[in-house]
């Protein structure tokens, strides 16, 4: 049996007639940039996330930039963020001319550890980015308290967390602003690049709306510097269709995760992901951690399991094999191996199992059986 890591073809086939018609409508109306399809999606996504405003963008990376740019982050500023995240989180700061400052993650949630933040705050610190990694909300209440205490801006990187919840409320409207990604493999994925900014702040919404479209308030009248970060009409149409199905797809992901949890609970060297009491996890990724004592032994065990599963037709992933503080591009920031042990452990001992809403019980059971077979051989 061959188990894909995700199955975009199965997802497309499940909505083919709907999405084909929506794309054809854009082609018929030639509304290729922004337009009604994007506007309708923005309205619907804002409603889904229970936030006042949504702006569709050209990618999640661009949304990261727009959030911090719109909030006035610039050269000389520092922005605190977790070391274990995709690098696009950091680009939000660097594209503003600011410096990313990394902190370690919590050992169970894998999200930024509030207890580690205050030690990283300096006179240059202006913002904190809470990444909802793998589909689970960061612990926002203590982050809000730290931000209030030190007069900092708190924002969310929700690239992997569509419909995730914190204490019963959807993320995306719980801080100054949030960025989302609609990269094709995301829980809500476009058929190309796409992203969004959400906020409850009308002034910030209007500012980012200008920044997204060359700094103009009306065509050819440019009030400020800006960029071309607009969403394409076809992506708005595709996302509008897929959003209608997102709730049931989220339930399906949670069901897959529950079956993995039940099937792997007795595998002593496998640590399944933990859903925190404050969170509703939407399982963009299902990341297990291998524990064989030392980090070196755990990393070797992870690699052996990865190879075994691959050889047996189970496609797996690493998210992410090199934490940001160890990336070559950030060498000048002065971090070294050992600075953030929790982030380094998930990088070196973590393994992402197949996760997509169309997974059958047969596929799930096959993955579980192969993991157990590896440990029993």
User: What does the pLDDT look like over 226-267, one tens digit per residue?
Assistant: 999 999 999 999 999 999 999 999 999 999 999 999 999 999
The confidence score (pLDDT) of residue 377 equals 73
What percentage of residues in the chain have a pLDDT greater than 70? 100
pLDDT for residue 191: 98
Mean pLDDT, range 13-25, rounded to an integer: 98
List the chain domain ranges: 8-103+110-243, 246-376
CATH code linked to domain 246-376: 3.90.1150.10
Read off the pLDDT of each residue in 163-177 and give the average, rounded to a whole number: 98
CA–CA distance, 44 with 42 (Å, rounded to integer): 6
- Position 72 scores a pLDDT of 98
Residues 347, 228: Cα–Cα separation, whole Å: 34
- Mean pLDDT of the chain, nearest integer: 97
Block residue for tokens 């399982």: 283
Judge whether residue 354 has pLDDT over 80: yes
CATH 3.40.640.10 corresponds to the domain 8-103+110-243: yes
3-state secondary structure of 105: strand
Identify whether the C-beta of residue 148 lies closer than 8 Å to the C-beta of residue 128.
no
Residues β-bridged to residue 280: 165
Report the pLDDT value the prediction gives residue 232, as an integer from 0 to 100: 98
| Percentage above 90 pLDDT, the chain | 99
Stated as kind and residue range, the H or E segment containing 44 is helix 35-48
Q: What is the pLDDT of residue 61?
A: 98
With a cut of 90, say whether residue 217 has pLDDT above it. Answer: no
Q: What is the pLDDT of residue 375?
A: 95
């Amino acid at each position: 049996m061959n188990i894909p890591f995700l199955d975009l073809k199965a997802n497309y086939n499940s909505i083919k007639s709907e999405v084909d018609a929506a794309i054809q409508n854009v082609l018929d109306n030639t509304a290729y940039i922004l337009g009604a399809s994007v506007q309708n999606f923005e309205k619907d996504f804002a409603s889904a996330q229970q936030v006042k405003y949504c702006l569709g963008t050209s990618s999640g990376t661009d949304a990261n930039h727009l959030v911090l740019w719109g909030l006035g982050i610039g050269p000389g500023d520092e922005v605190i963020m977790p070391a274990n995240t995709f690098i696009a989180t950091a680009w939000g700061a660097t594209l503003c001319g600011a410096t990313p400052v990394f902190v370690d993650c919590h050992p169970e949630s894998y999200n930024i550890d509030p207890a580690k933040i205050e030690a990283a705050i300096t006179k240059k610190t202006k913002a904190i980015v809470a990444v909802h990694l793998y589909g689970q909300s960061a612990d926002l209440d203590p982050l809000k308290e730290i931000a209030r205490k030190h007069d900092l801006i708190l924002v969310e990187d929700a690239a992997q967390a569509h419909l995730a919840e914190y204490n019963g409320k959807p993320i995306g409207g719980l801080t100054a602003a949030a960025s989302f990604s609609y990269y094709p493999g995301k829980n809500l994925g476009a058929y190309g690049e796409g992203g969004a900014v959400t906020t409850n702040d009308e002034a910030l919404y209007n500012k980012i709306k200008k920044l997204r479209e060359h700094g103009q308030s009306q065509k050819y009248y440019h009030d400020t510097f800006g960029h071309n970060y607009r969403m394409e009409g076809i992506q708005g149409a595709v996302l509008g269709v897929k959003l209608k199905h997102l709730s049931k797809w989220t339930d399906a992901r949670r069901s897959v995760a529950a079956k993995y949890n039940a099937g792997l609970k007795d595998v002593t060297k496998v640590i399944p992901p933990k859903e925190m009491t404050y969170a509703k996890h939407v399982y963009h990724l299902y990341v297990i951690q291998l524990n064989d004592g030392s980090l070196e032994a755990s990393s070797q065990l992870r690699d052996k399991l990865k190879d075994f599963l691959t050889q047996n037709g189970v496609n797996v992933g690493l998210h992410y094999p090199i934490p940001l503080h160890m990336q070559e591009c950030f060498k000048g920031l002065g971090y070294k191996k050992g600075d953030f042990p929790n982030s380094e452990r998930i990088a070196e001992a973590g393994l992402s199992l197949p996760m997509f809403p169309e997974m059958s019980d047969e596929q799930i059971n096959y993955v579980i059986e192969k993991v157990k077979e590896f440990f029993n051989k």
